[in-house]
A and B are shown apart, each in its own frame.
Chain A
Amino acid sequence: MDIEETAVKARAFSYFRAATIDQALDAHARAGDDARFIAGGQSLVPALSLRLQAPRLLIDITHIDEMRGVRREGGYLRIGALTRHCEMLSEPLVAEFAPLLHAAAPFVAHPAIRNRGTFGGSVALADPASEFPAMTLALDAEIEIVGPTGRRRVKADDFFLDLFETALQPGELITAIYVPLFKADQRFAFDELARRRGDYAMVGCGIMATCAGDRINDIRISFFSVGNTPTRVKGAEATLIGSSLDAERIAAAQAALEGDLAPPDSDEVPPAMRLHLARVLLGRLLGRLGESA
């Protein structure tokens, strides 16, 4: 292929296409730390073009079969890390057994990005403004990791550590995300406040609730675009467990957000405004959740 000289601005790198996980891990080990795994490339390629990252080696993992596909496995839906965002919209198993992900998917960027970006890539990057990492928290999902020291499963609650920092160690890969199957007594809600459709949200939220009639037996509320990591609001959750979703309880949950969230400084969305927007969004979502009873 004749590459237009003017278009290529990344620093030169080597490229290796792995056919298996072992090949990928081996290539990474041989390159030292100076390698990156690449799947959809929707975050990595811009970073390369901007020269924010300049690894010596790119390891293409998109041809590793083991990391593909969506299937039921015990009480979980196993979503292969290479599952593309657009498949979260089109895959019937996701719609049936992980409807929160199905509901969030149309909000993930734009169709061209959804065609290439992968679920595992999004979780691995852990952008605090992204929809899917936060939804793994709401879903109580488990993240399967493979690396030089073997294979393990980490609860989403233990996965997101700090800004772009996760339980993934250098040289480790996410192979799949395990989502507990959606049950008849569960309800969910998702929405975000973004200036334009497809933008990073000013604030976004996904909720999974287990109910007995009007009563909330368990609820997990996860926000994104509110801090350094996707954030569960346990104070707000606690105000709701054991209650029904009346106006008073919703107001209490909204009030609890002040203790749950410590939004970052920003000119465009100062902390007080983000907290206000989070309260508005939570109120609207809990209202919807109540109506869906």
Chain B
Amino acid sequence: MSAPLTSLDRPNSYIGRSVPRPNAKRLLAGRGRYVSDLRLPRMLYAAFLRSPHAHAKIVSINTDEARKLEGVHLVAIGADLAKICTPWTGTLDHFKGMISAPQLPLPLDRVVWAGQAVVAVVAESRAIAEDALELIEVDYEDLPLVVDIDSARAAGGPVINPGSTNNICFRAQLDNGAVDDAFAHAAHVVEEEFSFGRHTAVTLEPRAIVADYDPAAGALTVHHATQTPYQFQDLYSRHYGIAEAHVRVVATDIGGSFGMKLHVYHEDMAVVGLSILLGRPVKYVADRIESFVSDIHARDHRVRARMALDAKGEILAMDVRDLTAIGAFSTYPRTSVVEGNQVIRLMGAPYRFKNYRATLEVIFQNKVQTSQYRAVGHPIACAVTERLVDMAAAKVGLDPFSIRAQNVIADDAYPQTSPTGYRFEALSHQACLKRLHELMDYDGLRAEQADLRKRGVYRGIGIAAFVEITNPSPAFYGVGGARISSQDGAILSVTPSGEVRCLISVTEQGQGTEAIISQIVADQLGIAQEHVKVITGDTEVTPHGGATWACRGAGIGGETALQATRALKRNILEIAALILQEQPSALDIINGEIVDAGTRNQRIPISEIARIAYFRSDTLPPGTQAQLTVSHHFAPQGYPFAFTNGIQGCSLEVDVETGFVKVLKHFIVEDCGRIINPMLVDEQLRGGIVQGLGAALFEECRYSETGQLVNGSLADYLVPMAMEMPDIVIAHVETPTADTVLGAKGVGEAGTAAASACVLNAVNDALTPFDATINSIPITPIKILKALKRF
């Protein structure tokens, strides 16, 4: 099924080839340079005193003893930083009517979640700063709490934001077609209420920042473990009143991000202010507990949904209500409503029905903020849709594969619009379904399941089709007024030795961005990959761009690199043509050599062109100015998003006595368009699936009735580990997007999008012999045992 753009036999044809990541060896050898490794001269260390209360008035703060401690340089409270930092508000214009209270680095008079930073101490070591924290006295006065969705919505209950009449952040509605009519005439209706627990990213490297303000130059340098250095350059500039050109954000090696490292965090903003106040570098690295109580969380949805079908199992309509609780603020600058918005817009996405209605209510509560995390909204929309499809299949008497085959949009029917209004260029549900059926030996698994059931072994088989949003255009954030770029930029230079340096705005967090960019440049120019050096993540050096989020690195960053390389190649061939007295069109580049396009006979190496251009320009014809550096920007046009699709399958076993679930094998057939590096694509899928399985079975931020996170450690918050993870079998269908030359779409979130839905369906399939169903994620032993009424 591989799309024919290049022949892998051609020299330098790296697109489509599993080449190792150039930076992998450096990282494996422990030569990575993370922000946590950084030590600058005169650097100080920040620590934060955090609120033990989920909602309380700050009556007084006594920092006298802390200030006296030897080695303490600064103790700052909310008012100190409010003098130099303007407040921020996490709303966007295209979410009509949404509200959120202004935020500051540290609160002035009220705390709104347990774990919120209240006082900052800067000292000569982190340990001294922590000693000083123990000497600070804060007098709090408890305020009424809002910790769950029901109490947040209760009439007359406590309200988090003063001046508001309720705890609603945002409401949205979609109503397409004739939903009531479809339900009135349906032969079958299935309905369920689902709940999805909060979880969080748990990156290996926690959030880390070193802010370094130089008062003499009026310049701020921030070494920041972030996915989006340009966004933060803009934010630090505007909120601290420093010209953008005097703000430099450097994001070098990053130990995982998953969407968590592109939001404004109060501590990070505070550290910039602390450095400005002190005129010295200040470092802050969140420890694991701090990460749990201050990194964004995600999910936390309660969805009631129903689906109408005709007698043959044709889906007629869906009707959905999503309630989601986000914390006391909407996150800045991307808001906390994007997840809910995507939940209601991704429902039913693989299927061709047209009648759809949804309401979304986004609610404030006294917990840490939620926001975008890998596969924003997708797992919820997918789990709800796919579980309803399975319930419908059971009701109509169809096999899960059959009902999906009957209802997915046909591969030859594109372009199409989803029931919720998304425009699809070209997807491949039918091909993926067919391939998965073979790949998992579905009939064999069913036979084995029936056989084992007789012996009291309960296996479950689940499948889940999905659609993923990738390559977002300005329709995502730009239209809402966010200064978040959807374009990327690249600067390519030929070195005097004939190698290529590529400075590009997409960033590397361990997923191999730099590898695929070097593959594209080498492929398109015709040089060996090891002669391409890719440089990312420094606003002083790399051009402004969107960087890496929402699965845009390969599709948008890759196309930027491709177009820039083609421009550089034209320039090289122009100079070569002058030197060789040929037409540029008669020449090509293979393996670093200029060749005759027709015969491929070698004429002159690029290194010789570079030597002449840089050192012997006197030998070129008069008037010639060699341009061996090009800069190029690319913004996606055409479809607002490049949607991808795929289907996952899962085989698992439920121990009906203990409620334990063992995932035996997981499968995915995925279509991300042009595959640049199959190995990296497969590992993105595997990593994404593992995160989805974590969500399905293990991960949940659990809170007490008083709003305390009760499992803020890696002993209590269970992330998926190797022993519990199954083999993951991967296959591909390739439907390149025609919106770009490269044809690549994103792949980083596809695994996470459907893995939990797949497990949900498989667990319910395993429980078929019992009068028991599961409608809540994560699927824990207690939920299964309760459903089975075992205690």
Chain A, residues 171-210, CB within 8 Å of chain B (1/0): the string is: 0000000000000000000000101111110100000000
Let me know if B723 and A277 touch, CB within 8 A. Answer: no
One of B36, B287, B724 near A9 (C-beta < 8 A): B287
Let me know if B782 and A269 touch, CB within 8 A. Answer: yes
B698 at the interface (CB under 8 A from A): yes
Given contacts A5-B45, A269-B782, contact A196 B721 (CB under 8 A): yes
Given contacts A272-B791, A275-B791, contact A195 B126 (CB under 8 A): no
Q: CA–CA, A23 to B709, complex, Å?
A: 43
B268 nearest CB across to chain A (Å): 15
- A54 to B, closest residue via Cβ: B134
Q: CA–CA, A205 to B127, complex, Å?
A: 41
Q: CA–CA, A59 to B39, complex, Å?
A: 32
Let me know if A277 and B658 touch, CB within 8 A. Answer: yes
One of B130, B289, B723, B790 near A198 (C-beta < 8 A): B723
One of A8, A198, A280 near B658 (C-beta < 8 A): A280
One of B36, B126, B131, B702 near A268 (C-beta < 8 A): B702
Let me know if B791 and A6 touch, CB within 8 A. Answer: no
Given contacts A197-B723, A197-B724, A277-B658, contact A5 B785 (CB under 8 A): no
A231 nearest CB across to chain B (Å): 19
Q: CA–CA, A200 to B657, complex, Å?
A: 19
CB-CB under 8 A from B698, the residues of chain A are: 195-196
CB-CB under 8 A from B781, the residues of chain A are: 195, 202, 273
CB-CB under 8 A from A6, the residues of chain B are: 36, 45, 125-126, 283, 285
Interface residues of B in 74-125 (CB under 8 A from A): 124-125
B551 nearest CB across to chain A (Å): 29
Let me know if A195 and B660 touch, CB within 8 A. Answer: yes
Chain A, residues 1-22, CB within 8 Å of chain B (1/0): the string is: 0001111111110000000000
Given contacts A5-B45, A270-B782, contact A196 B127 (CB under 8 A): no
- Chain A residues touching B, majority SS: loop
B718 at the interface (CB under 8 A from A): yes
A152 nearest CB across to chain B (Å): 34
Interface residues of A in 262-293 (CB under 8 A from B): 267-270, 272-273, 275-277, 280
Let me know if B127 and A199 touch, CB within 8 A. Answer: no
Let me know if A7 and B718 touch, CB within 8 A. Answer: no
CB-CB under 8 A from A51, the residues of chain B are: 130, 134
- A5 to B, closest residue via Cβ: B125
CB-CB under 8 A from A272, the residues of chain B are: 791
Q: CA–CA, A270 to B130, complex, Å?
A: 36
Let me know if A7 and B780 touch, CB within 8 A. Answer: no
Looking at A6, A7, A12, A267, the one whose CB has the most chain B CB atoms below 10 A away is A6
Let me know if B126 and A5 touch, CB within 8 A. Answer: yes
Chain B, residues 728-744, CB within 8 Å of chain A (1/0): the string is: 00000000000000000
Q: CA–CA, A6 to B47, complex, Å?
A: 10
CB-CB under 8 A from B39, the residues of chain A are: 4
- B722 to A, closest residue via Cβ: A197
B668 nearest CB across to chain A (Å): 23
CB-CB under 8 A from A267, the residues of chain B are: 702, 710
Given contacts A6-B283, A196-B724, A197-B723, contact A268 B130 (CB under 8 A): no
CB-CB under 8 A from B791, the residues of chain A are: 270, 272-273, 275-276
- A269 to B, closest residue via Cβ: B782
Let me know if A5 and B127 touch, CB within 8 A. Answer: yes
Let me know if B131 and A196 touch, CB within 8 A. Answer: no
- B657 to A, closest residue via Cβ: A280
Q: CA–CA, A170 to B322, complex, Å?
A: 57
Given contacts A5-B45, A11-B131, contact A195 B718 (CB under 8 A): yes
- B721 to A, closest residue via Cβ: A196
Let me know if B790 and A276 touch, CB within 8 A. Answer: yes
One of A9, A197, A198, A273 near B785 (C-beta < 8 A): A273
B447 at the interface (CB under 8 A from A): no
- B208 to A, closest residue via Cβ: A6
B715 at the interface (CB under 8 A from A): yes
CB-CB under 8 A from B127, the residues of chain A are: 5, 8-12
Q: CA–CA, A128 to B127, complex, Å?
A: 31
B7 nearest CB across to chain A (Å): 46
One of A12, A193, A197 near B721 (C-beta < 8 A): A197
CB-CB under 8 A from B124, the residues of chain A are: 5
Let me know if B45 and A268 touch, CB within 8 A. Answer: no
CB-CB under 8 A from B660, the residues of chain A are: 193, 195
B267 nearest CB across to chain A (Å): 14
Q: CA–CA, A196 to B717, complex, Å?
A: 11
B653 nearest CB across to chain A (Å): 15
CB-CB under 8 A from B134, the residues of chain A are: 51
Q: CA–CA, A54 to B782, complex, Å?
A: 37
One of B126, B718, B785 near A276 (C-beta < 8 A): B785
A281 nearest CB across to chain B (Å): 8
- Ordered by A's residue number, 28 sampled pairs between the chains whose C-beta atoms are within 8 Å are A5-B125, A5-B126, A6-B45, A6-B125, A7-B126, A8-B127, A9-B126, A9-B127, A11-B131, A50-B289, A51-B130, A51-B134, A193-B658, A195-B780, A195-B781, A196-B698, A196-B718, A196-B723, A197-B721, A197-B724, A198-B723, A199-B718, A200-B715, A202-B781, A268-B780, A268-B782, A269-B782, A280-B657
A residues apposed to B, CB below 8 Å:
4-12, 50-51, 193, 195-200, 202, 267-270, 272-273, 275-277, 280
Instruction: Please provide the 6 A-B residue pairs with the shortest distance between their CB atoms, ordered closest to farther.
Output: A5-B125, A276-B791, A197-B723, A272-B791, A280-B657, A6-B126
B residues apposed to A, CB below 8 Å:
36, 39, 45, 124-127, 130-131, 134, 283, 285, 287, 289, 657-658, 660, 698, 702, 710, 715, 718, 720-721, 723-724, 780-782, 785, 790-791
Q: 7 additional contacts, CB 8 Å, given A8-B126, A50-B289, A195-B698?
A: A5-B126, A6-B283, A12-B131, A193-B658, A196-B698, A198-B723, A270-B791
